[in-house]
Amino acid sequence: MIETIEKIETQIPSLGPAKIDSPILKKRPNVDRHFVEEDERVLVNINEPYIGRMVKEGTPLLSFELAGPRQKIYFDPVKLKCGIVTCGGLCPGINDVIRALVMELYHVYGVRNIYGFKYGLQGFIPKYGHELVELVPEKVASIHELGGTILGTSRGHQDVGEIVDTLDRLNIGLLFMIGGDGTLRAAAKIADEIMKRRLKCSVIAIPKTIDNDIFLVEKTFGFATAVEKATESIRAAHTEAVAAFNGIGLVKLMGRCSGFIAAFATLGLREVNFCLIPEVDFDLEGPQGLFEALRQRLERRRHAVIVVAEGAGQKYFANQDLGVDPSGNPRLGDIGRFLAEEIKKYFASIKMPITLKYIDPSYIIRSLPANADDHIYCGFLAQNAVHAGMAGKTAMLVSRWHNTYVHIPIKAAVQKRKTINPNSGLWFSVLETTGQPSLKNG
């Protein structure tokens, strides 16, 4: 369930009036193609009590701009130069997005100058010496079969002024940035600097995070693949657990601040007995803690499966100075290995024999090619990103909202992080599936 959102900015900036007929008109003259009008919108909130209250109070309803092709575009495809960059961690589907961007630009709009910047934002900075990659259909034709990104990636901040200098020097008119929260924040700063200099360059973001934690985005690409592959690890953990007397299978999954992968993978296989996520606190010791609940489970069934998101239980590392990663995010304590060791210590202390198998598939999952669902989703995201960019939209990202593709201002999407509401139907479904108690004393 999507939370009710009261106040956000939904207006999408534009480089100027779109005056050029879309090439789509000429390419498919016999096809009755729907072109999106600027006044076509999608409600942000669709629950009836909210709409009724807004109507009664006479307050305008929040709405997002509908994505899709415009009949008039801003850029002349013959003269336009486009750039594509991928940033942050790996995620299934990045190559799908690159491929779909190139194919849409080249075949639908007739853009012939498309370039890839290597190794994330480093690709814009001359001192790194990373070459530009010319992207044509032949070069990207089969990259969707590969994991990772053919452009490479990196983390960390780069000078926004230097980035815009490079865009200006190369005469890039349309930049597509594929990345997560940090990339979106960088994209917002780049767009601001471009506007400050009054350059005619559009910045369009395609949100990427395997954790599915970007605000105002129903689902990020790669998430479906991650959940599917995570269930394979859970199945292996369950097999190991039932094969041993008092067997415990412990699986650590991705999710720094949001436990969506852990929750959906738990629901996807339904063989998990304890699901631990960052949004819900838990205790290890005490009459209501995890250890006691796990002991009771083993006495009843002689096996148990635990799924833990990487950001869960970070209170147990509060006294450790773990520093920050190159993107500025606090480094996390390894909750998976910590739990494995603490569980072993506890059962040794009560002289109860166990066999524990610990599985961490994180780097395997994030480096895989996308599954069929993500293949399709990446294509839609990229196509709508191209439509938006060609129409002169800027400082925005493409999102799916209420199962419809929309335009979201980047600054609205980075206001906060999307997390699981512990009082939501999603989390209650996890609790009902696992049967786990609160795991919190008192």
The residue whose two tokens read 């606190």 is: 281
Structure tokens at 196: 């400050």
Amino acid at 315: K
20-220+369-413 matches 227-367+423-434 in fold: yes
Sign of CA pseudo-dihedral 166, 167, 172, 175: positive
The CA-atom distances, in angstroms, between 345 and each of 167, 168, 243, 252, 333 are: 57, 60, 22, 19, 19
What is the DSSP-derived secondary structure letter of residue 273?
A: S
Maximum alpha-carbon separation in the chain:
78
Residue 211 a catalytic site member: yes
Per-residue pLDDT of the chain (442 residues; tens, 9 = 90+): 456 687 899 999 999 999 999 999 887 666 666 899 999 999 998 876 767 777 777 778 899 999 999 999 999 999 999 999 999 999 999 999 999 999 999 999 999 999 999 999 999 999 999 999 999 999 999 999 999 999 999 998 999 999 999 999 999 999 999 999 999 999 999 999 999 999 999 999 999 999 999 999 999 999 999 999 999 999 999 999 999 999 999 999 999 999 999 999 999 999 999 999 999 999 999 999 999 999 999 999 999 999 999 999 999 999 888 888 777 778 999 999 999 999 999 999 999 999 999 999 999 999 999 999 999 999 999 999 999 999 999 999 999 999 999 999 999 999 999 999 999 999 999 999 999 999 999 8
The class level of CATH for 227-367+423-434 reads alpha beta
**Using DSSP, how many helices (H) and how many strands (E) does the chain show?**
14, 15
User: Is the pTM for the entire model greater than 0.85?
Assistant: yes
Contact 414, 133 (CB under 8 A): no
For 20-220+369-413, give the CATH class: alpha beta
Catalytic residue among 211, 213, 360, 374: 211
Rg of the chain in Å (alpha carbons): 24
CB 354 within 8 A of CB 247: yes
385 burial via Cβ count (<10 Å: 0-12, 13-18, 19+):
buried
**What ranges do the domains of the chain cover?**
20-220+369-413, 227-367+423-434
